[in-house]
């Protein structure tokens, strides 16, 4: 089965009222875990790679790993998505590399630390949409800056995250501005700011509506019902994995993530793509620490990697099931990207809807 465009996959999710987890990948074990979980649950897959992942693994390695995953699981639709593209040039490189979807994060300047002006965000995102739609690749934009409503700070993951303290208006996406942004750029999906942030340290207590603005999703969705909403920073930071890490020598401070049931509420309000990286990192780290402590005589790293893969697989199965993805893969037939391409890129008519 060929790669699927994000647009086609999320159109299906919208039509049937479910959400798709987008898991970050850096290496073979993570890809194995996600694909095994998708196979076990018959779920469509979004594998996303950040610039940090491409630096870590090397771009040809990542591409080949994804090709191998598709070859081994030919019945599963797989979207290969670039997470947090810092510039049109970065997005173009991903498209050349064969990604079926790119994120242009124009909420931050190219350094991915300095909050950008609205005009800059519109300009760079529009440019990426023009290029991507000409070849059937989908585009995710971002409006508002990810960051904590408790502290006003963004946190940082793989070099991405606003520096300094942000005011509340930047930390919550405005529905009216979202409608204007989508009209000006033609994005297929929009990442919104509702108080989530990247990494393990999202909330200093179990979040309530004051620090996790799930209700805002419905008002944004009402203004842009045809644009798929994306929740970044959506790891749930499982307390049980934090306990395993601490019991085996790790030092993770008290912290809370986005509860799965809040994400499910978000999906009911229009979220279609849910970004998850940290949960897989925590589960793999916990499993490796435990395996090393339990088997001090073991010297084959594959034993630890196998434990890590199984732990990541457990996270992925649980998210596929909770978000309503299970049982959907066999109902989707990916269209070739060429069939989705706009005929006149300069006209910027937007991606044609999948049949």
Task: Kindly list the residues in this chain that would bind ligand 13P in the complex (CB under 6 A).
Answer: 24, 83-84, 157, 198-199, 232-235, 275-279
Q: What are the CA-CA distances from residue 50 to residues 80, 102, 165, 282, 333 (Å)?
A: 11, 10, 24, 18, 27
230 contact partners, CB below 8 Å, separation of at least 6: 22, 140, 189, 190, 191, 192, 271, 272, 273, 274, 275
| Closest to ligand 13P by CB, 13 or 237 | 237
Query: Least distance to ligand 13P from the beta carbon of 143, Å?
Result: 15
Query: Least distance to ligand 13P from the beta carbon of 236, Å?
Result: 8
Query: Least distance to ligand 13P from the beta carbon of 147, Å?
Result: 12
Q: Choose, from 11, 83, 158, 188, the residue flagged as catalytic.
A: 83
| Closest to ligand 13P by CB, 257 or 270 | 257
Query: Least distance to ligand 13P from the beta carbon of 26, Å?
Result: 12
| Closest to ligand 13P by CB, 29 or 279 | 279
Question: 46 by DSSP, 3-state: which?
Answer: strand
Q: What are the CA-CA distances from residue 239 to residues 257, 283, 286 (Å)?
A: 9, 10, 11
| Closest to ligand 13P by CB, 144 or 233 | 233
Tokens of 224: 């842009």
Q: Is 83 an active-site residue?
A: yes
Query: Least distance to ligand 13P from the beta carbon of 102, Å?
Result: 13
**CA angle 50–20–271, rounded 5-degree value:** 95
Query: Least distance to ligand 13P from the beta carbon of 280, Å?
Result: 8
What are the start-end ranges of the E strands in the chain? 20-24, 45-49, 78-85, 101-104, 138-143, 189-192, 228-231, 271-276
Question: 79 by DSSP, 3-state: which?
Answer: strand
| Closest to ligand 13P by CB, 102 or 340 | 102
User: What's the burial of 345, exposed, middle or buried (CB within 10 Å: 0-12/13-18/19+)?
Assistant: middle
| Closest to ligand 13P by CB, 233 or 334 | 233
Distance between CA atoms of residues 144 and 330, nearest Å: 36
**112 touches 156 (CB < 8 A):** no
Q: Which of 273, 178, 274 is nearest to 222 (CA)?
A: 178
DSSP 329: G
203 contact partners, CB below 8 Å, separation of at least 6: 148, 150, 211, 212, 255, 256, 257
Tokens of 47: 């594998």
| Closest to ligand 13P by CB, 234 or 309 | 234
Distance between CA atoms of residues 339 and 355, nearest Å: 10
- Asked whether the CA dihedral 180, 273, 193, 53 is positive or negative, the reply is negative
Query: Least distance to ligand 13P from the beta carbon of 198, Å?
Result: 4
- For the annotated catalytic residues, the residue numbers are 83
């Amino acid at each position: 089965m060929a790669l699927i465009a994000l647009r086609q996959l999320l159109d299906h999710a919208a039509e049937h009222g479910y959400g798709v987890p987008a898991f970050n990948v850096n290496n073979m074990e993570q890809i194995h875990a996600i694909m095994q979980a998708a196979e076990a649950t018959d779920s469509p897959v979004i594998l996303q790679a950040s610039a940090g992942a491409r630096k870590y693994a090397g771009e040809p390695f990542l591409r080949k790993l994804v090709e191998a995953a598709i070859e081994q699981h030919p019945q599963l639709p797989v979207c290969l998505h670039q997470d947090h593209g810092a510039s049109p040039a970065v997005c173009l490189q991903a498209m050349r590399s064969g990604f079926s979807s790119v994120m242009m994060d124009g909420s931050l300047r190219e350094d991915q630390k300095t909050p950008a002006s609205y005009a800059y965000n519109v300009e760079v995102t529009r440019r990426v949409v023009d290029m991507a739609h000409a070849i059937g690749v989908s585009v995710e934009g971002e409006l508002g800056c990810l960051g904590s409503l408790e502290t006003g700070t963004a946190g940082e993951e793989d070099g991405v995250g606003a520096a300094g303290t942000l005011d509340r208006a930047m930390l919550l996406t405005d529905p009216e501005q979202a409608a204007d942004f989508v009209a000006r750029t033609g994005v297929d999906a929009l990442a919104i700011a509702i108080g989530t942030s990247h990494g393990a340290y999202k909330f200093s207590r179990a979040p309530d509506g004051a620090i996790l603005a799930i209700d805002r999703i419905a008002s944004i969705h009402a203004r842009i019902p045809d644009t798929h909403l994306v929740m970044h920073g959506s790891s749930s930071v499982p307390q049980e994995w934090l306990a395993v890490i601490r019991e085996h020598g790790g030092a993770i401070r008290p912290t809370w993530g986005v509860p799965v049931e809040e994400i499910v509420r978000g999906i009911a309000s229009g979220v279609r793509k849910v970004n998850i990286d940290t949960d897989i990192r925590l589960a793999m780290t916990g499993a490796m620490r435990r395996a090393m402590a339990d088997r001090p005589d073991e010297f084959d790293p594959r034993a630890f990697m196998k434990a890590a893969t199984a732990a990541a697989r457990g996270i992925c199965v649980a998210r596929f099931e909770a978000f309503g993805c299970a049982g959907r893969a066999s109902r989707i037939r990916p269209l070739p990207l060429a069939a989705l391409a706009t005929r006149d890129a300069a006209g910027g008519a937007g991606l044609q809807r999948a049949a």
